[in-house]
Amino acid sequence: MGDITRLKKLFPEGYPKHPAVTGTSIARKLLGGTTKPNDKVVDPMCGLGSILVACIREKRHFWGCEINKEYYSFAREWVDKEIYGVTV
Protein backbone atom coordinates (compact mmCIF):
# COMPACT_ATOMS: atom_id res chain seq x y z
CA MET A 1 0.00 0.00 0.00
CA GLY A 2 2.91 2.34 0.73
CA ASP A 3 4.20 1.90 -2.82
CA ILE A 4 0.81 2.87 -4.29
CA THR A 5 0.74 6.00 -2.14
CA ARG A 6 4.23 6.91 -3.36
CA LEU A 7 3.18 6.37 -7.00
CA LYS A 8 0.21 8.69 -6.56
CA LYS A 9 2.51 11.38 -5.14
CA LEU A 10 5.09 10.90 -7.90
CA PHE A 11 2.49 10.86 -10.69
CA PRO A 12 -0.52 12.70 -9.22
CA GLU A 13 -2.44 12.87 -12.52
CA GLY A 14 -0.92 10.24 -14.80
CA TYR A 15 -1.00 7.18 -12.61
CA PRO A 16 -2.59 4.34 -14.65
CA LYS A 17 -4.70 1.76 -12.88
CA HIS A 18 -2.89 -1.58 -12.90
CA PRO A 19 -4.44 -4.65 -11.24
CA ALA A 20 -1.20 -6.29 -10.14
CA VAL A 21 1.57 -3.87 -9.21
CA THR A 22 4.48 -5.61 -7.47
CA GLY A 23 5.72 -2.58 -5.58
CA THR A 24 9.31 -1.47 -5.25
CA SER A 25 9.80 -2.44 -1.61
CA ILE A 26 8.91 -6.10 -2.28
CA ALA A 27 10.92 -6.06 -5.51
CA ARG A 28 13.98 -4.69 -3.71
CA LYS A 29 13.80 -7.48 -1.12
CA LEU A 30 13.50 -10.10 -3.89
CA LEU A 31 16.43 -8.63 -5.80
CA GLY A 32 18.55 -8.42 -2.68
CA GLY A 33 18.01 -12.12 -1.96
CA THR A 34 18.45 -13.46 -5.48
CA THR A 35 20.93 -11.21 -7.31
CA LYS A 36 24.14 -9.26 -6.77
CA PRO A 37 24.98 -5.64 -7.70
CA ASN A 38 25.71 -5.29 -11.45
CA ASP A 39 23.77 -8.46 -12.30
CA LYS A 40 21.38 -8.13 -15.25
CA VAL A 41 17.67 -8.64 -14.50
CA VAL A 42 15.12 -9.36 -17.24
CA ASP A 43 11.48 -8.53 -16.55
CA PRO A 44 9.58 -9.61 -19.69
CA MET A 45 6.23 -8.37 -18.34
CA CYS A 46 7.26 -5.26 -16.45
CA GLY A 47 3.88 -3.53 -16.05
CA LEU A 48 4.38 -0.11 -14.47
CA GLY A 49 8.10 -0.79 -13.95
CA SER A 50 8.37 -1.48 -10.21
CA ILE A 51 11.05 -4.11 -10.70
CA LEU A 52 13.02 -1.88 -13.09
CA VAL A 53 12.98 0.96 -10.57
CA ALA A 54 14.01 -1.47 -7.83
CA CYS A 55 16.93 -2.53 -10.08
CA ILE A 56 18.10 1.08 -10.33
CA ARG A 57 17.92 1.49 -6.55
CA GLU A 58 19.69 -1.83 -5.94
CA LYS A 59 22.31 -1.14 -8.65
CA ARG A 60 21.30 -3.92 -11.02
CA HIS A 61 21.22 -3.64 -14.80
CA PHE A 62 17.82 -4.35 -16.27
CA TRP A 63 15.84 -5.02 -19.40
CA GLY A 64 12.07 -4.70 -19.42
CA CYS A 65 9.26 -5.42 -21.86
CA GLU A 66 5.57 -4.52 -21.64
CA ILE A 67 2.77 -5.16 -24.15
CA ASN A 68 0.36 -2.48 -22.87
CA LYS A 69 1.29 0.96 -24.26
CA GLU A 70 -0.11 2.88 -21.32
CA TYR A 71 1.81 0.79 -18.79
CA TYR A 72 4.94 0.94 -20.99
CA SER A 73 4.81 4.75 -21.19
CA PHE A 74 4.38 5.00 -17.47
CA ALA A 75 7.30 2.62 -16.84
CA ARG A 76 9.56 4.64 -19.17
CA GLU A 77 8.62 7.87 -17.42
CA TRP A 78 9.15 6.37 -13.97
CA VAL A 79 12.56 4.93 -14.95
CA ASP A 80 13.61 8.30 -16.43
CA LYS A 81 12.51 10.12 -13.30
CA GLU A 82 14.41 7.65 -11.16
CA ILE A 83 17.62 7.99 -13.19
CA TYR A 84 17.57 11.64 -14.22
CA GLY A 85 15.17 13.21 -11.75
CA VAL A 86 12.97 14.38 -14.65
CA THR A 87 11.12 12.88 -17.59
CA VAL A 88 13.37 12.93 -20.69
- Interface residues with ligand SAM (CB under 6 A)? 18, 20-22, 45-48, 50-51, 65-68, 71
Chain centroid to CA 55: how far? 8
Provide, rounded to whole angstroms, the least separation between the CB of residue 2 and ligand SAM.
14
- Tell me whether residue 65 or residue 83 sits nearer to ligand SAM (CB atom): 65
- Tell me whether residue 41 or residue 47 sits nearer to ligand SAM (CB atom): 47
Q: Which residue is nearest to ligand SAM (CB)?
A: 47
Q: How many CB atoms lie within 10 A of CB 79?
A: 20
- Tell me whether residue 41 or residue 51 sits nearer to ligand SAM (CB atom): 51
